[in-house]
Amino acid sequence: MQFIRQEGHYLHYRIKGWCKINIYWLGSFYAEVWFLYNLKDVGLIRTFTKSACLDPYLHSLEVPVLFE
Give the model confidence (pLDDT) of 24-66 as tens digits.
999 999 999 999 988 888 989 999 998 888 888 877 766 667 7
Cα angle at 26 between 24 and 29, to 5 degrees?
A: 95
State the pLDDT at residue 34: 95
Q: Could you read off the pLDDT of 6-26 as tens digits, one per residue?
A: 999 999 999 988 899 999 999
> Which pTM was predicted?
0.79
**Predicted confidence (pLDDT) at residue 68 exceeds the cutoff of 70:** no
Question: Which DSSP category does 49 fall into?
Answer: -
Which pairs count as long-range contacts for 27-32, CB under 8 Å and 24+ apart, including other chains? 30/54, 31/4
Q: Spell 33-52 as b/e; 16+ CB within 10 A means b.
A: bebeeeeeeeeeeeeeeeee
